[in-house]
Structure 1
Amino acid sequence: MTDAAEQGYFTEENSAEAVISRNSGAEDPRLKEVMEVIVRHLHAAVKEIEPTQEEWMKAIMFLTGTGQMCSEWRQEYILLSDITGVSMLVDAINNRKPTGATESTVLGPFHIEDAPERALGDDICLDQKGEPMLVRGRILDIAGNPIPGAKIDVWQANDEGFYDVQQKGLQPDFNLRGVFRANEAGEYWFRGVKPRFYPIPDDGPVGKLLGALGRHPFRPAHLHYIIEASGFETLVTHVFDPDDPYIHSDAVFGVKESLMARFEPVDDPARIKEAGFDGPFFEVRQDFVLAAQ
């Protein structure tokens, strides 16, 4: 008697079914389900594209080069996932929020776990380079109630578009990073510098693909947040500058309209004095609404 996994010869017409039947003995049902979907879509794509042998070898070499570019500090496959929109799609599927809750976006590669905890109002810019910025807002629940003590982990690129971990020896350790705790009214505030747009790493296969597609590698200026509070879902998100030149063409599709906050220039002497600055600064106001677990 022929085993079910051995039934049928491979033809162009039944290619997906032949492979799926061969996988029928998989012990993990989720793996079996995932591979069936991938095989069906992959074979359908190949049949629609009808690649030449030379084109298929170019695809193989692209994937080979992508893997060879990966290291302890670089994950080229994540970049590939990012620029094809898959990272954001996976994030959206896994972070569906109730109406009114702040939307999430991708974590990014530059978060570190042991950033120092700072007092509300502290300046996270340790080298004092860049245009001063005050960021403030509230952490709320869906009903608009404050969430006292919420943990707010923030980090950002400097005014040249680099994170501290990209410029060891040039930027101080933990520059433009800090962990804050919301006060009893759910308020938070801190100082930083106005961030700048920057390119994702584009010196590898993914960068060459972007160029071939006529796309740029830039991400618009933004601030990163991870917000945690007991009884609430952890929020990983950004705040974007709506006036950034790349706000409508983020290389990794991370921008959401609800995550834009104006970087308001402040030059009024009274406001400058009240905020404790020596001269003009930018002010950013952004509240975050957490979904209950």
Structure 2
Amino acid sequence: MDFSETDSVDAVVASFADTPDPRLREVMTSLVTHLHGFLRDARPSLAEWEAAIDFLTAIGQKCDEHRQEFILFSDVLGASMLVETMEASRQAGGASAATGEGLDATSSTVLGPFHVVASPERALGDTISLVDGGEPCLITGRVTAPDGTPVPGAQLDVWQADEKGFYDVQVPDAQPLGNGRGLFTADDDGRYHFRSIVPAHYPIPTDGPVGQLLTATRRHPYRPAHVHFIVQAEGYVPVTTHVFVAGSPYLDSDAVFAVKQALVRDFAPVDDADTAARLGLPNPFRRAEFDVVLQPVA
């Protein structure tokens, strides 16, 4: 049978008919159907299609052990947030059906391209800021189930940019590996606290193909100030999330579409020399409260 524009989908889908894994067959059928539909709609020239392949190749070539350009590409297209949103809805639906709970779990957001370094284990109260500079802060909170039951021993993996908007892996000459990162274990009441600095808003990396795409489409590359969290515990659905700094620029136009109002917190100023001394912080400092609610596994 001759391959033609009108029967291209049928021809390619038929080639996957013997795929043993039904989910893989379903996904490939959908991919081919939508991809061919896109091509018939956009009608790229051969030169344009080759440029698209070159673009994807360049994305792969930009990836290394410290940077994931494909995640960045997924982020700026809103694909990462869509998948996160669908997954959260699926988990919430399952838990709701099983327990009647689940709608109050902490909102999820994107992983981002810089969760590529194992966070060092730290004790509660430790600082994740290993270099001078920045406005000191304390981040505290409690990990609970939706009914308020504490989740003792919950693990919190946190990472953030510095006061100039850079992660450790971006500026190895200025930051030691592990700066701005920490792996904490909540206490018996589900509580945690650690010291850091107030992060800055920053541009996502623009020195690669994703940056070129943003320039070509006249989109800005900025993200509002935030701290990343992955929180998990046995018997609960892990959550990948952020806490955003209230008042930060770009809360309304995050380049990766990840802001949710429920995740915005005040980093309130504290002027209390005794408390600062007890916590090992200079005075004054800022403090943010960020409680995390985990969904029980259905």
1:115 matches 2:120: yes
2:248 pairs with 244, 248, 253, which one?
Answer: 244
Equivalent residue for 1:199? 203
* Counterpart mapping for 1:216-227 below 5 A: 216-227=220-231
* Counterpart mapping for 1:273-284 below 5 A: 277-284=281-288
In the alignment, residue 215 of structure 2 is paired with which amino acid?
G
In the alignment, residue 149 of structure 2 is paired with which amino acid?
N
Equivalent residue for 2:95? none
Equivalent residue for 2:31? 38
Q: What do residues 100-134 of structure 1 show as CA deviations (whole Å, max 9, x unaligned)?
A: 1111222223333351221x222222223210101
Structure-2 change in CA distance of 1:249 and 1:102 (3 Å): same
Contact 2:67 2:114 in 1 (8 A): no
Identity of aligned residues (%): 48
CA distance in 2 between counterparts of 1:71 and 1:113 reads 15
Gaps of 5+ in 2: 93-101
In the alignment, residue 278 of structure 1 is paired with which amino acid?
P
Equivalent residue for 2:99? none
CA distance in 2 between counterparts of 1:26 and 1:231 reads 34
Equivalent residue for 1:21? 14
Give the secondary structure class of the aligned counterpart of 1:162: coil
CA distance in 2 between counterparts of 1:191 and 1:67 reads 36
Equivalent residue for 1:190? 194
User: Which shows bigger deviation, 184-193 or 86-95?
Assistant: 86-95
Structure-2 change in CA distance of 1:66 and 1:178 (3 Å): closer
CA distance in 2 between counterparts of 1:174 and 1:22 reads 47
Contact 1:66 1:204 in 2 (8 A): yes
CA distance in 2 between counterparts of 1:21 and 1:45 reads 19
TM-score by length of 1: 0.87
1:74 matches 2:67: yes
Equivalent residue for 2:104? 100
Give the secondary structure class of the aligned counterpart of 1:95: helix
User: Which shows bigger deviation, 183-192 or 109-118?
Assistant: 109-118
CA distance in 1 between counterparts of 2:225 and 2:57 reads 32
Deviation at 1:194, TM superposition (A): 0.4
CA RMSD of aligned residues (A): 2.3
Give the secondary structure class of the aligned counterpart of 2:71: helix
User: What stretches of structure 1 move > 4 A for 4+ residues in a row?
Assistant: 268-276
Structure-2 change in CA distance of 1:15 and 1:230 (3 Å): closer
Structure-2 change in CA distance of 1:185 and 1:249 (3 Å): same
User: Which shows bigger deviation, 271-280 or 78-87?
Assistant: 271-280
Gaps of 5+ in 1: 1-7
In the alignment, residue 218 of structure 2 is paired with which amino acid?
G
Structure index of larger Rg: 1
